[in-house]
Structure 1
Amino acid sequence: MRVLVASTNGSGHFSPLVPFIDACAARGDDVLVAAPPKLEPLLAARKQPYHIGGEPPQAELVPLMMRVLGLPADEGVSLMTREVFGRLCITAMLPTLEELCREWRPDLVLHETYELASVVAAERHGVPHAQVAVSVAQFAESTDELLRPALDSYGTGIAERLRVSPYLTRLPASLDPSPYAVTRRYHQPPAPNALPDWWHGREEPLVYVTLGTEVGGIPNASALYRAVLASVSGLPARVLLTTGPFTDVSDIGAIPRNVRVEKWVPQADVLGGASLVLCHGGSGTVHGALASGVPLVCLPLFADQPTNARLVTEAGAALTVTADGPGQEAAGFGPDGVAGIRSAVELVLKNPSYRAGAERLAAEMCDTPTAGELLDSLGTCPAPGPR
């Protein structure tokens, strides 16, 4: 089978596709990955063939993203969905994906939720398609109507046929009930390696701190990192902070003695020995923590993070601390916020119920097919309807 895999920018969008890419390769399928230029370094480090498409013009994208970051969360999501994913990204990637569907002739298009040029191309060339979730279903459903006008401008009914296509998610049903009729759940067993002994044999609990790979590029990022580090300074724990590629660590200031700072560490390696994850509530981090049975403290900032944080907190596997600022650009934590983060971290470390909640969700996730086991049924995806 020939499988065309399509992603937008960001490791959080590409990572959910990786288990399927690896499973396709393992069973001998021909796999071709299509993505924007910013993903090329990541794709070049892998074995699969890839094709780089277009990207939105920076002169239009950058001011738009600055507007998104300055808005309250709901307004920012609406603008980002309609203008970035629904307009700019489709326009940029569609010529490449149309060419690949026409010339390479895939048997299946597998795309992450917000890569939609591949859906348009698949519909135009009669190729079955399935979407791999990058967020909770509740959040994805909330953006469906925002995307409908953009999709249907390329062909009547495309938005509805996207909604009834297979929806593949790593999250468990008890946490993330799905409104999509063809929902199929899968998991990828964690395979951690040992971390370096950065703490010279100390055995206190390991707290993993991450705000994702994109936060370093937003206004006030350094102040946010300083607040998070202040909340764990002197904590009787080993703390690992990963900043991603866009953060200048020298801007953060003094690093507490119990904290190790790295640009990037394989998430599975950290989670294999972590006692707690302190994060922004991004889907990839939340999924990884739950898959490893690790509880969380969430500091949601934008996009799907508030929804993720609320659901995992309601499930008893996390606590949520909200920022002081009224909008995303001003998001930050003053002295009261720092104290709130520390109290939440101490409570989750002390109270075993949060670990039990995370482990319950991990067990539920493990009771689903692997991505490889799920692949067999994807070959029977219904073809798109009449154009």
Structure 2
Amino acid sequence: MRVLLTTYAERTHFLMMVPLAWALRTAGHDVRVAVQPKLAGAVTGAGLTAVPVGHDRDLWDLLRRTGPEHLFGVETGWPAPYDTAALSTPDWDHVLRGYRDIAVRWHKTSNVPLINDLVDFARWWQPDLVLWEPTTYAGAIAAKACGAAHGRILIGEDVFGLTRDHFLRLRPDGAPDPLGEWLGAYARKYGGEFSEDMVTGQFTIDQLPASLRHRASLEHVPMRYMNYGGAAVVPDWLSTPPSRPRVALTMGLTAHDRTGGYPVDLQDVLDAVDGLDVELVATVTPETRLSRVPSRTRLVPFVPLTALLTTCSVAIHHAGVGTLASTALRGIPQLTLPWDVDQPTLGARLAAQDAGISIHATEATTEGIRDALVRLLHEPAYTKGAAHLRDEMLAMPSPNDVAGHLAARRGS
């Protein structure tokens, strides 16, 4: 079976696709990954075959030049209409206005640079299956153009599928469909017609356990999350067991890489740990300015996350899906300091099952962080909740299982 994966140029989203790509490859399938040229190095660095397509227009470059309100209309959070995804009673006018004025512009910025070259490659290579990141609609367009089966690989909460549920349920007869009209124009350009699978795929691969996700009314294929962060070397100091409880602190890659800062004041977090009988390992960039570094604190620019978490009693992080899922797989209580996108929702769901505590980054104080950390270290309920979440995730099908499922549905 020939399998084509594609994502717009967001490295962290690609990294979440790698375990399934390798599962398909080791099962004997021919796997290619079509990305914009600047992401090709990340693909080949993962040992996969890259297909550079399109040109390197970058959504984040545009946001830095114009401000997030240019495309999103808001300073933080999902752009409308995706901010309504978790609501039971969203407003139709808000959903329509979001698709019309914000979301389609966002998707055009990410997708238009990919589409023509991706369709040309798909028509030439003739994949049996196309798997696409949930906002890389170029993948659905290319699949329709070449007649391939296709599905989405989620990189967090399915806000896109949930929003589409709301849209279809609320849409009055004859009302416009800005997203469908945009995708339909490309379908017709390549000889087809719009269908709903161009928005949400023929199926959806979901890497979150049921207790952490809002599920859209679609065919979901569960798959256990597996951490892949790129090439890494485990430092020697990690081989020595800590003499006191070790706490990991990481606020992820995307926020600092894309905006040049963190949504929470790292000094506040370090001050919260100062004086506790713990060892803190914090991943911070060399540019980060700190006025005080507590004793028993190790600052490193990078350390392999899974290797670090194996030695930790608690992790403090931003509730990014990769960090949260990696921590959950090791049964470790978590203190999340979420800021935007699906982070607040994931943090709240984690806290609801006593697998952690969540404090929004805008409300995080030294005192609040310290109190939460002490509770996570000493209250057995959190260790029990984290273990339950770990067991739930371990019971999910592995990438190898899902690779077999995908082959079977293609008749291979």
User: If the TM-score is normalised by the length of the shorter chain, which range does it land in?
Assistant: 0.7 to 0.9
Cα distance in 1, alignment partners of residues 239 and 293 from structure 2:
14
Partner of 2:213: 176
1:381 CA displacement: 4.9
Deviation digits for residues 294-318 of structure 1, max 9, x if unmatched?
Answer: 1211111111111111111112211
Identity across matched positions, percent? 24
* Corresponding position: 1:124 with 2:145: yes
Call closer, same or farther: CA 1:368–1:57 in 2, change over 3 Å: closer
Cα distance in 2, alignment partners of residues 274 and 147 from structure 1:
45
Partner-residue secondary structure (3-state), 1:313: helix
1:55 CA displacement: 2.8
* Corresponding position: 1:286 with 2:324: yes
Call closer, same or farther: CA 1:250–1:179 in 2, change over 3 Å: closer
Question: For 1:109, which of 119, 122, 130 is the aligned residue?
Answer: 130
* Corresponding position: 1:215 with 2:271: no
Partner of 1:231: 272
Partner-residue secondary structure (3-state), 1:197: helix
Cα distance in 2, alignment partners of residues 251 and 222 from structure 1:
14
Call closer, same or farther: CA 1:94–1:309 in 2, change over 3 Å: same
Partner of 2:91: none
Call closer, same or farther: CA 1:97–1:189 in 2, change over 3 Å: closer
Deviation digits for residues 174-227 of structure 1, max 9, x if unmatched?
Answer: 332522431111225679997632697642112111111022242653972222
* Corresponding position: 1:204 with 2:244: yes
Partner of 1:27: 27
1:348 CA displacement: 0.9
Call closer, same or farther: CA 1:126–1:348 in 2, change over 3 Å: same
Call closer, same or farther: CA 1:60–1:220 in 2, change over 3 Å: closer
Deviation digits for residues 96-115 of structure 1, max 9, x if unmatched?
Answer: 31122011211111122222
Partner of 2:373: 345
Call closer, same or farther: CA 1:151–1:348 in 2, change over 3 Å: farther
1:150 CA displacement: 4.0
Partner of 1:167: 204
Partner of 2:155: 134
Matches within 5 A, 1:356-371: 356-371=384-399
1:250 CA displacement: 4.7
TM-align CA RMSD:
3.2
1:29 CA displacement: 1.4
Partner of 1:259: 297
Which structure 1 residue ranges, 5 or more long, are not aligned? 326-332
Partner of 1:276: 314
8 Å Cα contact 1:223-1:252 kept in structure 2: no
1:343 CA displacement: 1.0
Which segment drifts farther, 306-315 or 162-171? 162-171
8 Å Cα contact 1:3-1:30 kept in structure 2: yes
Cα distance in 2, alignment partners of residues 344 and 376 from structure 1:
42
Which structure 2 residue ranges, 5 or more long, are not aligned? 84-97, 168-177, 188-192
Q: How many residues were matched structurally?
A: 370
* Corresponding position: 1:17 with 2:17: yes
1:286 CA displacement: 1.1
The one-letter code matched in structure 1 to 2:221 is R
Call closer, same or farther: CA 1:73–1:257 in 2, change over 3 Å: same
What's the TM-score, normalizing by structure 2? 0.79
8 Å Cα contact 2:128-2:410 kept in structure 1: no
Partner-residue secondary structure (3-state), 1:179: coil
Deviation digits for residues 54-74 of structure 1, max 9, x if unmatched?
Answer: 232576343345435961435
What's the TM-score, normalizing by structure 1? 0.84
Cα distance in 1, alignment partners of residues 239 and 73 from structure 2:
36
The one-letter code matched in structure 2 to 1:270 is L
Partner-residue secondary structure (3-state), 1:208: strand
